[in-house]
């Protein structure tokens, strides 16, 4: 699952994209950019696939970054089925939207980001915390990294 988000900084905004494992809510990869060009989204996707392997299905909204040839080709070459949200299907993105809400409230708004360098440091620190220390009630009060690797180990053992 992926979706981009606008990050406010002192003199403008940056775009943040995250690739998230839907079942465990683990952020697999993310990128920050000062343009909405598709390349930073594709880079995050390629990193997630390189590190964790291709998912069976990738769900996105219908933004141009995720309907363009680079994104679709990357998924197709990895053997991933593409799923796109329908109009008005807000629940399809509920987990990543919740991620953005938590990031804003727990890091972005508290920091008052000055520039992209600071934004990158703050976001990296928060995502590391989110994946490895922040428990989720929907995950039986485990962190996203715990069920993610549990699922991987179960599949390897089978």
At 78, which helix (H) or strand (E)? none
Q: What is the mean pLDDT of residues 111-115?
A: 93
Spans of all domains in the chain: 2-92+113-157
Q: How far is CA 149 from CA 1, 56, 130, in A?
A: 18, 17, 15
Q: Which tens digits make up the pLDDT trace of 48-101? A: 999 999 999 998 877 788 889 999 999 999 999 988 765 555 556 678 888 989
- DSSP 8-state symbol, 113: -
Number of H helices, E strands in the chain: 7, 5
pTM of this structure: 0.85
Top-confidence residue, 84 or 8: 8
Q: Are 29 and 19 in contact (CB under 8 A)?
A: yes
Q: What are phi and psi of 5, to 5 degrees?
A: -145, 145
pLDDT above 90: residue 12: yes
User: Which CATH number does 2-92+113-157 carry?
Assistant: 3.30.420.10
Q: What is the mean pLDDT of residues 135-154?
A: 77
Phi-psi region of 104 (alpha: psi -120 to 50; beta: other; left: phi over 0): alpha
Q: Are 24 and 63 in contact (CB under 8 A)?
A: no
């Amino acid at each position: 699952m992926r979706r981009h988000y606008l990050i406010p900084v002192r003199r403008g905004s940056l775009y943040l994209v995250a690739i998230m494992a839907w079942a465990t809510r683990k952020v697999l990869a993310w990128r920050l950019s000062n343009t909405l060009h598709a390349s930073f989204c594709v880079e995050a996707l390629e990193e997630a696939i390189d590190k964790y392997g291709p998912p069976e299905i990738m769900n996105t909204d219908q933004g141009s970054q995720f309907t363009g040839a680079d994104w679709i080709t990357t998924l197709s070459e990895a053997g991933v089925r593409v799923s796109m949200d329908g109009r008005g299907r807000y629940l399809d993105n509920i987990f990543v939207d919740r991620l953005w809400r938590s990031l804003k409230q727990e890091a972005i708004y508290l920091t008052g980001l000055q520039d992209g360098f600071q934004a990158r440091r703050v976001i990296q620190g928060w995502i590391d915390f989110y994946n490895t220390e922040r428990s989720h009630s929907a995950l039986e009060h485990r962190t996203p990294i715990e069920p993610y690797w549990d699922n991987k180990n179960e599949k390897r053992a089978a």
